[in-house]
Chains A and B, each alone.
Chain A
Amino acid sequence: MSPEVHGLGHAIKRKEDPRFLQGKGTYVDDIKLPGMLYLDIVRSPYAHAKILSINTEKALKIPGVLAVITGKDLDKYGLAWMPTLMSDRQMVLPIDTVKYQAQEVAAVIATSRYAAADGVAAVEVEYEPLPVVVDPFKALEPGAPKVREDKESNHIWHWEVGDKAATERAFQEADVVVKQDIYIPRIHVASIETCGCVASWDPIEGKLTLWMTTQAPHAIRTVVALVAGHLGLAEHNIRVISPDIGGGFGGKVPVYPGYVLAVAASVLTGKPVKWIEDRSENLQADSFARDYHITAELAAKRDGTLTAVRVKTIADHGYTDAAANPSKFPAGLFHICTGSYDFKNAFVEVDGVYTNKPPGGIAYRCSFRVTEAVFTIERMADLMAHELGMDPAEFRLKNFIRPEQFPYRSALGWEYDSGNYAAALRKAMDMIGYEELRREQAEKRARGELMGIGISSFTEIVGAGPSHTFDILGLKMFDSCEIRIHPTGKAIARFGTKSQGQGHETTYAQIIAEELGIPPEDIRVEEGDTDTAPYGLGTYASRSTPTAGAAGAMAARKIRDKARKIAAHLLEAAEEDLVWERGKFYVRGSPDRAKTIQEIAFAAYTNHPPGMEAGLEAVSYYDPPNLTYPFGSYICVVDIDRGTGQVKVRRFVAVDDCGVRINPMIVEGQIHGGLTMGLAPALMEEIQYDADGNIYGGTFMDYLLPTAVETPKWETGETVTPSPHHPIGAKGVGESATVGAPAAIANAVVDALWHLGVRHIDIPITPPKVWAILKEKGVALEE
């Protein structure tokens, strides 16, 4: 704790809030440039169809409509297709066929938003529908409709990890085996701000400025340079600005066709062009998360010791593999699915499949496929505990990796940095009054009431990542910070990440405050402008604090090293005789002989030592030595209404361990939000398609986000197990709760119904699903 400078551990109010509170944030749609044009998109009503013709004649007659761009127009410039992060390719606009409903077909450029929409309505497209496949299992059958003409089949890739033979032996030798099919449905992040951009091409300077809803502005700049390099767009002439972002959660990592179209339209017209999605476009066409069809098995001894885990998964990627994963990991970090348990044997295989749906494979507020992994192991752990007749808490405590085993090498190759899983679970059990709840449950069950208690003891893997293993398109997944201390002791710090609500302007300032003793209010934090910020890979996968936050601490330490030399000069003392106390150096044994960081900063520009360069600044590109492994234990209590099938979350206790907490208020806020985005897919959210590929849930009328009424009053607790390799011991927290919560809720529901013979219910656990089960089991209350 550092009361004088509000460094680590202080719940200070956020520096970024005054502008948001007064309506003065600058989101992409707030940007208005002179002469700006508007772009709107014609979309396909069919999930698979041949485009016979596109007639733009009527559209071009509408006042204000200037041009209509089609795939054939883009093809002349080699821009009809663009590469995806996973070495596949994605259409900007189709030349001949569309592959999913709501796919972009043409772009209308007009002088106003309304004229552009009129233009869209007037473009006439003639389609010839083609056979559709939306089920990935059917897509793998012989004779299934082929989604991609340019590929051999609908099978994209096979990926496996672990010791298959040893795992097979462990299953043969097991006393008890449980097996379960688990579907983790397709869902959408649905940040309240949709995606969009303003592209402004300056033909005189030859420079493109792109304001864009992106979580990774630097990587976007490089991608634009690589994709449009052949048209003369070079990286030094591309400026990507990610202004205030209204939520990201992974949905603002990909490059969507609309961005590319706006750039093309700006180059074509020589004017700034704005493209902003409607909500329905956002929900129907932007990349989706999850869509994993999992078969999981666990093996254990009769005494409850887990011995092996085996997981087979069909991954539905839609019509292209546009997943946002590090290059070497087609299934992301799904092989964290050994979870918090000491498994000696594990084997995982995943097959990617094409279907007539929009791209899948992005995150939904989680590190790459970590929610899928955690849901699987935590659901299965509960299943095994129940099967063995053991209490799920006792079962977990028996199988946890023990504190003295860290750093722990998992059977699938990860090195967990630190953890104390039993401590977190015991704390959660104390907070919620676990034993008492079990007694209450028994009493209620005797009366026929349905109450369940669910546990999830998750381990995450975040903070990608070490350069030896982690890259995106070859770009190593370091992150960066540049700090400049001004003569008056104030500072500006710029980072390679981009906050979308996480509070970086405050958190990063507190890290630097801790390291340099300069108060957060004297430190301006900037991100998101590629012309000014150092190169970084951006904000997703809970990587900002583990990577850029670490870079902030390391850059500050470089500054402190120089400050020591300046202080020695000013105090006429030897460097080794100086003692650092937050915010000042003093001579050992003479605390009065001291120079503050502010005095040192002034001297750096006015009285620096002979032979030393003036100034006080540093940059750090931080390559993390390992990932970080946040963990926690969640316990959920549900009551099920036998009259309606409604699941009510009565209580939910979340004990999180994200290592050292920088701003406890912000950390808790992240957990609240994450829990709500864990509740959402557990009970409400799913994007479904009919057999023809028509989307259900393409607006907020059908795709239900939790409101304040469905959301319980979250109860939070903490343990602190620092990361041993992170400069300040922090691990990252933005996604833990989204990852950990769904299994706790699903486990609670199954726990409530286990005695009726229920073993699993796929999420979202909606009232109709539960009602059907209650009826089948003869316990529904009917008038």
Chain B
Amino acid sequence: MSMHHIRLTVNGVPREADVEARLLLVHFIREDLNLTGTHIGCDTTSCGACTVILNGKPVKSCTVFAVQADGGTLMTVEGLAQNGKLHPIQEGFWEKHGLQCGFCTPGMMMTAYAFLQKNPNPTEDDIRWAISGNLCRCTGYVNIVKAIQYAAEKMRA
């Protein structure tokens, strides 16, 4: 298996590593970078628990090779809060009880993060379609929608 040297910026910090060609980005994030906030919930790109932002776009990191992130900019859930202050999306999820077991939450928030950059003033329907690639088994989504609405309002202000 061929090895490759990759360099990328992760949550604002430059990182580099030697990785196998077949190493999945999610395993690189979790096991090489020890950023375990990004989770794995399936192996078919269905659940979205592993969603991260790569070069400004949300990707399911179980279906991206680490080498594909070479030279890129990566943001994970650990990069949301700044200087000890929660991001409005995190605040929204806390205020509106948008999480229960917490397992889908990082991926859900990263999807919401990318979505609100594109659509800062979404309708409820927009939000539901935007998170339709992220599965949650606990909340029934109602409070996740409210959390994203909370964040949208706060980010617009």
Chain B residues positioned under 8 Å from A194 (CB to CB): 41
Residue of B102, B132, B145 near A25 (CB, 8 A) is B102
Chain B residues positioned under 8 Å from A191 (CB to CB): 101, 103, 137
**Measured CA separation A29–B35 after assembly (Å):** 12
Residue of A23, A500, A670, A714 near B76 (CB, 8 A) is A23
Contact flags B24-56 to A (C-beta < 8 A → 1, else 0): 000100110011111111111011010000000
Chain B residues positioned under 8 Å from A18 (CB to CB): 94
**Quick one: closest A residue to B144, CB to CB?**
A708
**Measured CA separation A353–B66 after assembly (Å):** 48
Is the beta-carbon distance between A27 and B77 smaller than 8 angstroms? no
Residue of B20, B94, B103, B140 near A247 (CB, 8 A) is B103
A661 in the interface, Cβ–Cβ < 8 Å?
Answer: no
Chain B residues positioned under 8 Å from A501 (CB to CB): 100-103, 138
Chain B residues positioned under 8 Å from A713 (CB to CB): 124, 142
Is the beta-carbon distance between A676 and B141 smaller than 8 angstroms? yes
**Measured CA separation A668–B41 after assembly (Å):** 25
| A113-B27 contact, Cβ under 8 Å, with A246-B101, A279-B42, A279-B44 | yes
**Quick one: closest A residue to B99, CB to CB?**
A20
| A193-B142 contact, Cβ under 8 Å, with A23-B36, A27-B39, A30-B36 | no
A766 in the interface, Cβ–Cβ < 8 Å?
Answer: no
Contact flags B113-157 to A (C-beta < 8 A → 1, else 0): 000000000001001110111111111111111000000000000
The tally of residues in A whose CB lies under 8 Å from a CB in B reads 59
**Measured CA separation A191–B131 after assembly (Å):** 18
Is the beta-carbon distance between B95 and A13 smaller than 8 angstroms? yes
**Measured CA separation A319–B54 after assembly (Å):** 46
Is the beta-carbon distance between B132 and A709 smaller than 8 angstroms? yes
**Quick one: closest A residue to B141, CB to CB?**
A708
**Quick one: closest A residue to B96, CB to CB?**
A665
**Quick one: closest B residue to A21, CB to CB?**
B90
**Measured CA separation A783–B106 after assembly (Å):** 45
**Quick one: closest A residue to B139, CB to CB?**
A673
**Measured CA separation A22–B80 after assembly (Å):** 8
Chain A residues positioned under 8 Å from B144 (CB to CB): 708
Is the beta-carbon distance between B140 and A673 smaller than 8 angstroms? yes
Chain B residues positioned under 8 Å from A429 (CB to CB): none
Contact flags A156-189 to B (C-beta < 8 A → 1, else 0): 0000000000000000000000000000000001
**Quick one: closest A residue to B110, CB to CB?**
A23
**Quick one: closest A residue to B130, CB to CB?**
A708
Is the beta-carbon distance between A22 and B46 smaller than 8 angstroms? no
A669 in the interface, Cβ–Cβ < 8 Å?
Answer: yes
Is the beta-carbon distance between A700 and B42 smaller than 8 angstroms? yes
Is the beta-carbon distance between B78 and A22 smaller than 8 angstroms? yes
Residue of B34, B37, B41, B95 near A192 (CB, 8 A) is B41
Query: Which label, helix, strand, loop or mixed, suits the secondary structure of the A interface?
Result: loop
**Measured CA separation A19–B47 after assembly (Å):** 21
A14 in the interface, Cβ–Cβ < 8 Å?
Answer: yes
Chain A residues positioned under 8 Å from B137 (CB to CB): 189-192, 247, 249, 673, 676-677, 705
Chain B residues positioned under 8 Å from A700 (CB to CB): 42, 44, 46-47, 135
Is the beta-carbon distance between B138 and A278 smaller than 8 angstroms? no
**Quick one: closest B residue to A18, CB to CB?**
B94
**Quick one: closest A residue to B129, CB to CB?**
A709
Is the beta-carbon distance between B132 and A708 smaller than 8 angstroms? yes
Chain B residues positioned under 8 Å from A22 (CB to CB): 37, 77-78, 80-81, 86, 90
**Quick one: closest B residue to A22, CB to CB?**
B81
Greatest chain B CB density within 10 A among A192, A670, A676, A705 is at A192
A701 in the interface, Cβ–Cβ < 8 Å?
Answer: yes
Q: What is the minimal beta-carbon distance from B99 to any residue of chain A, in angstroms?
A: 6
Contact flags A14-37 to B (C-beta < 8 A → 1, else 0): 101111111111110110100000
Greatest chain A CB density within 10 A among B22, B44, B99, B102 is at B102
Chain A residues within CB distance 8 Å of chain B: 13-14, 16-27, 29-30, 32, 113-114, 189-194, 244-247, 249, 278-280, 500-503, 665-666, 668-677, 699-701, 705, 707-709, 711, 713-714
Sample of 5 A–B contacts (CB below 8 Å): A13-B95, A17-B99, A21-B90, A32-B34, A700-B135
Given A23-B37, A114-B22; 18 other pairs, CB 8 A cutoff? A16-B102, A21-B105, A22-B77, A29-B36, A29-B39, A191-B137, A192-B103, A244-B102, A246-B41, A279-B46, A279-B47, A673-B139, A673-B140, A700-B47, A707-B135, A708-B132, A709-B132, A713-B142
